[in-house]
Structure 1
């Protein structure tokens, strides 16, 4: 897609030929904010099939996002906006008081502008940093968009995915300087933490630490991966030494597989794909 703006450039783009048959009333447009850019993904609502994924680098102007949104000249069934947060924490729903949001953010996260996102399906409330200005402007221009920070969309989509699969599951999303670890037991969220981990040794340590804290046996509980890792590279092999079943997350393979979008690329955009799964 051509932006026509010198301050916005396309970093990656995937288009499925089947997009020609996608009706706007069946389409879900998800927009995910990362540092320095926005990713747009258009999917078929009922099947979750990704028809288009395009990643942009843009400047810091709040209006930049609207310039990109205007390229999608259809009105879709729904819009979902997501963004990553550096710090977050979960509070049990029954213990949360909205009036204490600022106090909780200051005490637990060290920020004075925390906001709360209730997630009734998980019986919990996420305390986190606010929506980025570029996404806030997009939200103002849309009618009732779904707003979900990454920890909420990750936990929701994976919880739904594993709710019908009995037993324990551990999910690991890898980035250059951190790892997100989520663990479920019979569909119920047991752990969701972000660990600063810049080395392979740190990443392995936190995975094994999570298994130990949860009392999950690494010979029995599989480790599902997404993000910046390649199958059978050194980090993968390190996990494989200690965890019996190290696999790609089947959520991305089974629900969103298309010939036009390589799975290796989809795994990099897992937060955006998870946002789709929250329809």
Structure 2
């Protein structure tokens, strides 16, 4: 069994590991890693954030093994939280307007845009702000593993939290249209709002910065978005000195990194992170 240690560990000195009653736990799960954050309900402050990055993209079996090992060995996670939300990060989701949705037909809806693999279940998230549901697939073994290790957890798709939280931010802005890019190590998600309405949510795998630029400009072309006019806000794993940022700066005139959500408070250690890092973990509390 491999030794799993967090590559990022930000734990406030005042945090008491055995006092979980007033805390909410958020966990992000992907084949590339596991991260979690904790917010205190009394003062609305995030004071724990840890992240485990796997050296390679894990198999389903190894991912389940890693989840079980971390949940049992991490002194914080094994405390047994009552309020837990798990965010599933994969590319297998699709949005359906409430007006068209019939849960008895969820498999057929999903198969319009996605392929259902053997041993996958289709789960349903409600997106109140955009009056839609998000259907997503999860392997049955992974789902059972999460239920065993976190029996009180609510399991949702990462794009559900992303769309809902960005909608709340976007509706308070004066911009007529804006694109948000959630950039991860091997894929990115594009969310496009126009007149405070969601126009697009899609994701693309990429291996190189050239791939990234191609898919982004292709999406802009399909939506008739002018790169030199649209505002683009960045979140996720991206730095100004990266090749991806250089491409963005080359084609897009108005770029900024997303600001930290002022609705919440943050420990000094978490504030040391760039504001756009771990956006999902530090904003899912707005909509769950």
Query: Which TM-score tier does this pair reach, normalised by the shorter chain?
Result: 0.7 to 0.9
Residue 149 of structure 1, aligned match among 157, 162, 165: 157
1:259 and 2:255 are equivalent in the alignment: no
Could you tell me which residue of structure 2 aligns to residue 90 of structure 1?
Answer: 95
1:277 and 2:286 are equivalent in the alignment: yes
Could you tell me which residue of structure 2 aligns to residue 34 of structure 1?
Answer: 30
Measure, in 2, the Cα distance between the counterparts of 1:18 and 1:187: 40
Deviation larger for 24-33 or 95-104: 24-33
Measure, in 2, the Cα distance between the counterparts of 1:162 and 1:251: 14
1:130 and 2:138 are equivalent in the alignment: yes
Could you tell me which residue of structure 2 aligns to residue 15 of structure 1?
Answer: 11
Measure, in 1, the Cα distance between the counterparts of 2:262 and 2:209: 25
Q: Secondary structure at the match of 1:121?
A: coil
Residue 239 of structure 2, aligned match among 230, 233, 247: 230
Q: Secondary structure at the match of 1:263?
A: coil
- Larger helix share, 1 or 2: 1
Any conservation in 1 of the 2:31–2:63 contact (CA below 8 Å)?
no
Q: Give the 3 Å change call, closer, same or farther, for CA 240–63 of structure 1 in structure 2.
A: closer
1:102 and 2:91 are equivalent in the alignment: no
- Quote how far apart the aligned CAs of 1:31 are: 1.2
**Residues 161-209 of structure 1: CA deviation (Å, up to 9, x unaligned):** 2121132221112223321101112432111001122221221222223
- Quote how far apart the aligned CAs of 1:249 are: 1.1
Structure 2 unmatched runs, 5+: 55-61
Any conservation in 2 of the 1:39–1:55 contact (CA below 8 Å)?
yes
Measure, in 2, the Cα distance between the counterparts of 1:75 and 1:155: 29
Any conservation in 2 of the 1:162–1:186 contact (CA below 8 Å)?
no
Deviation larger for 35-44 or 60-69: 60-69
Measure, in 1, the Cα distance between the counterparts of 2:80 and 2:134: 30
**Residues 90-110 of structure 1: CA deviation (Å, up to 9, x unaligned):** 111111111111223334211
Could you tell me which residue of structure 1 aligns to residue 85 of structure 2?
Answer: 80
Q: Give the 3 Å change call, closer, same or farther, for CA 214–250 of structure 1 in structure 2.
A: farther
1:67 and 2:67 are equivalent in the alignment: no
- Quote how far apart the aligned CAs of 1:267 are: 3.8
**Residues 65-113 of structure 1: CA deviation (Å, up to 9, x unaligned):** 5425773576767321111122221111111111111223334211153
Structure 1 unmatched runs, 5+: none
- Quote how far apart the aligned CAs of 1:40 are: 1.9
Total equivalences in the alignment = 271
Q: Secondary structure at the match of 1:260?
A: helix
What is the Cα-based RMSD across aligned positions, in Å?
3.2
Measure, in 2, the Cα distance between the counterparts of 1:121 and 1:46: 26
1:160 and 2:168 are equivalent in the alignment: yes
Q: Secondary structure at the match of 2:185?
A: coil
Could you tell me which residue of structure 1 aligns to residue 199 of structure 2?
Answer: 190
Could you tell me which residue of structure 1 aligns to residue 58 of structure 2?
Answer: none
Any conservation in 1 of the 2:187–2:206 contact (CA below 8 Å)?
yes
TM-score using structure 1 length: 0.81
Q: Give the 3 Å change call, closer, same or farther, for CA 71–250 of structure 1 in structure 2.
A: closer
